[in-house]
Amino acid sequence: MFIYELNQKYLLLALRESGLKKEEEHEGVVMSVTPPLHDHFALVKAVYEVVDPKSITQTYKLFHHKQYWDVLFDQIPGTPVVSHPEIEVHLFKRKKQLFVTKKIWETTDDLNARKNQARPWPHPTTLDPVLAKALLNIASPKKTFLDPMCGAGGILLEACLLGLQTTGIDLYAPMIGRAKENLAHYNCNATLLIKDFREHQGCYDAVVTDLPYGRSSKTSGENLFAELLAKKFANKQIIITNKPFRNLTKDIIEIPMHKSLTRYVHFFV
């Protein structure tokens, strides 16, 4: 049995990224028999394995529910230490049952180091790197990836770091320059094209893109969305907008960002 600790801010996406069941979620924690599928989750904070306390023979440090310490002390043969433990023992309580676990995985990816303000060219509407990486994990391209409206390259950056052959398109030349600088800052490299995606031909494993939030129907909204789908760049596409297009798919997750922005993530996967 495994216990997954999920990012509560993006809970629905976290469930989707990890393949866990919504019904099993309780306060951002899911118990599951499924071992972790990979180790590049963006929205899973840590994974714990339920163990028999008697099997803990290493040096260990105890976390959560320290009130059970007295009971456990006699059961765990290992040595409790304050620093540098060989394993971390975490306790979880579910429906009055206490689970003794050891941490088997936690994220080591410092996504904060890539947040908008940390980049040479911040962009006001750029996606949080946590969100961008989670969407890429959900689309799970094997090798090739396209962002046909890449802006300053927030999604491209995560795609490059996942080791994908990455292509970014933007019709605004200065934006491509910014994407290039942002990628170089993290030693990343992508094929960057200054053009209208409507004039581009190509076939990729997946598309993840964030549509412009303007009001002109030519450069934003349903027209642009429909034109992008018509290009059939990939079998798996995830398209983000600031309003829902329920006529194009029913598979939408709504993410309130702040007072004046809600993102709608449309899945074609």
Question: Residues interacting with ligand SAM, by CB under 6 A?
Answer: 123, 125-127, 149-155, 169-172, 175, 196-198, 210, 212-213, 219
Please name every residue paired with 146 in a beta bridge, in sequence order, or none if there are none. 167, 207
Q: What is the Cα–Cα distance from 27 to 13, expressed in whole angstroms?
A: 15
46 or 239, CB closer to ligand SAM? Answer: 239
175 or 190, CB closer to ligand SAM? Answer: 175
The C-alpha R_g of the chain, in whole angstroms, comes to 22
Give me the least distance between CB of 222 and ligand SAM, in Å please: 14
Give me the least distance between CB of 165 and ligand SAM, in Å please: 19
Give me the least distance between CB of 47 and ligand SAM, in Å please: 29
Q: What is the Cα–Cα distance from 245 to 237, expressed in whole angstroms?
A: 14
Phi-psi region of 126 (alpha: psi -120 to 50; beta: other; left: phi over 0): beta
Give me the least distance between CB of 183 and ligand SAM, in Å please: 11
Q: Residues, the chain, total?
A: 269
15 or 221, CB closer to ligand SAM? Answer: 221
5 or 158, CB closer to ligand SAM? Answer: 158
141 or 153, CB closer to ligand SAM? Answer: 153
Q: What is the Cα–Cα distance from 213 to 243, expressed in whole angstroms?
A: 9
Q: What are the φ and ψ backbone dihedral angles of 13, each rounded to 5 degrees?
A: -70, -35
Give me the least distance between CB of 185 and ligand SAM, in Å please: 14
Are the CB atoms for 117 and 176 separated by under 8 Å? no
Token pair recorded at residue 94: 């579910």
Tell me the angle at which helices 154-161 and 173-185 cross, rounded to the nearest 10 degrees: 40
Give me the least distance between CB of 35 and ligand SAM, in Å please: 33
87 or 248, CB closer to ligand SAM? Answer: 248
32 or 116, CB closer to ligand SAM? Answer: 116
Are the CB atoms for 159 and 136 separated by under 8 Å? yes
Give me the least distance between CB of 175 and ligand SAM, in Å please: 4
How many alpha carbons fall within 13 Å on the CB side of residue 17? 26
**Which amino acid belongs to residue 134?**
A
Query: Which segments of 56-212 does DSSP mark as H helices, in order?
Result: 69-75, 129-139, 154-161, 173-185
